[in-house]
Amino acid sequence: MRGYLQAETEAERLERRARLLELLDRFRGEPSELLPFHQVLALRPKGEHHLGLKAIEVDKVVGSVDRYEDFDRRFLPRTPHTLERWKRLRALQLEGHEFPPIEVYQVGEAYFVKDGNHRVALAKATGQKYIDAYVIALDVPVPVEAKDTLKDLILKAEYAHFLEKTRLKELVPEAEDILFSTLGRYDILLDHIATRRYFKGLEEGREVSWEEAVVDWYQNLYKPTLEAIRKLGLLAEFPGRTEADLYLWIMDHRYFLAQELGVELSPEEAARSYEARFGPWWKRRGSGLKAWFRSWGSRR
């Protein structure tokens, strides 16, 4: 009886905490959802293998197969039914009852609960560091991290689709990860590759394969632009953005120069021009783009 009363008191405290944290998440504009496992399937898993029984870190359990609406991202109960179930489990725990291992899918560094959501909620609420679990590991081309949000999962799913379409990692094994901060950008990269393929075919008077175009785009356009971004330290000038974001902006700027001013710049020249036009005010030169173009022409 004493265990039940303590569990009831703790459940009431847990409910108040869940409501407060939900309000704070809304105020800060931060996600509060538990990650749904079905979003992981968009990462195009290549297979799975059983790792058996392991002690896993409770903090790295970040999602659920089918109960992601019943808990928030901290695994705090969101519904009266879920809270009641948590209370009963807590009472049993206080009476010395031991629970069986949970079942999880491992995706990169993160775990998604297949069975045992309430046991995970109990472990997190009581500060438990590890929990026994039967683990099934999924082989995905883009690994998931425990700190990932739902937006991160969607972005990584888009990247997985891009890798599947281009086979970039197979064609260029040393290729670096291409990561964006906003959705819908990988389709633009596919357009860049298709455009590169078309013009290369015109220049060389032959049919250029998709695979050749992918390699040519990465080696002669994306990689040199990346190197210029790092050489100039551009990423530090645009907080919250990624190198891939800057690549697209620089390519848009390069295209504008070619169309409006008749200038065909190399990736590094385009990066320098972009910095001169859109970088911090103390790095902007002249009175605008045409002033930069005149200074660029005089150096040529």
One domain for residues 104 and 173: no
One domain for residues 80 and 185: no
Would 160 be classed as within a structural domain? Answer: no
pLDDT band for position 282 (50/70/90)?
low
Number of residues in the chain: 300
DSSP-derived 3-state class of residue 38: helix
Would 270 be classed as within a structural domain? Answer: yes
> Which of 139, 158, 189 is a domain's end point?
139
Q: Distance between CA 229 and CA 235 in Å, rounded?
A: 7
pLDDT score at 257: 85
pLDDT score at 286: 46
List pLDDT tens digits, range 161-179: 999 999 999 999 999 999 9
One domain for residues 132 and 176: no
CATH number, domain at 85?
3.90.1530.10
Give yes or no for residue 215 having a pLDDT over 50: yes
pTM value surpassing 0.85: no
List pLDDT tens digits, range 219-232: 999 999 999 999 99
One domain for residues 98 and 226: no
SS3 per residue for 161-222: HHHHHHCHHHHCCCCCCCCCCCCCCHHHHHHHHHHHHHHHHHHHCCCCCHHHHHHHHHHHHH
- Identify the residue whose tokens are 């020249």: 269
One domain for residues 52 and 88: yes
Identify any residues that bridge with 110 across adjacent strands, giving them in sequence order.
Answer: 107
One domain for residues 125 and 194: no
One domain for residues 13 and 133: yes
One domain for residues 175 and 111: no
Would 286 be classed as within a structural domain? Answer: yes
Would 133 be classed as within a structural domain? Answer: yes
> Which of 121, 139, 157 is a domain's end point?
139
H or E stretch at 160: helix 150-166
One domain for residues 121 and 203: no
Residue span of the structural domain in which 105 resides: 2-139
Would 98 be classed as within a structural domain? Answer: yes
One domain for residues 47 and 128: yes
Would 158 be classed as within a structural domain? Answer: no
Q: Distance between CA 60 and CA 87 in Å, rounded?
A: 23
Residue 43, Cβ density class (10 Å: 0-12 exposed, 13-18 middle, ≥19 buried)? buried
**Inter-residue contact 106 to 99 (CB < 8 Å):** no
Question: For all residues of the chain together, what is the average pLDDT?
Answer: 89
Give yes or no for residue 296 having a pLDDT over 70: no
One domain for residues 8 and 134: yes
Would 162 be classed as within a structural domain? Answer: no
> Which of 90, 123, 139 is a domain's end point?
139
Give yes or no for residue 70 having a pLDDT over 60: yes
One domain for residues 6 and 135: yes
Cα–Cα nearest to 257, from 289, 299, 227 = 289
Tokens of 21: 């944290």
Say how many domains are in the chain. Answer: 2
Within 10 Å of residue 163's Cβ, how many Cβ atoms?
20
Would 145 be classed as within a structural domain? Answer: no
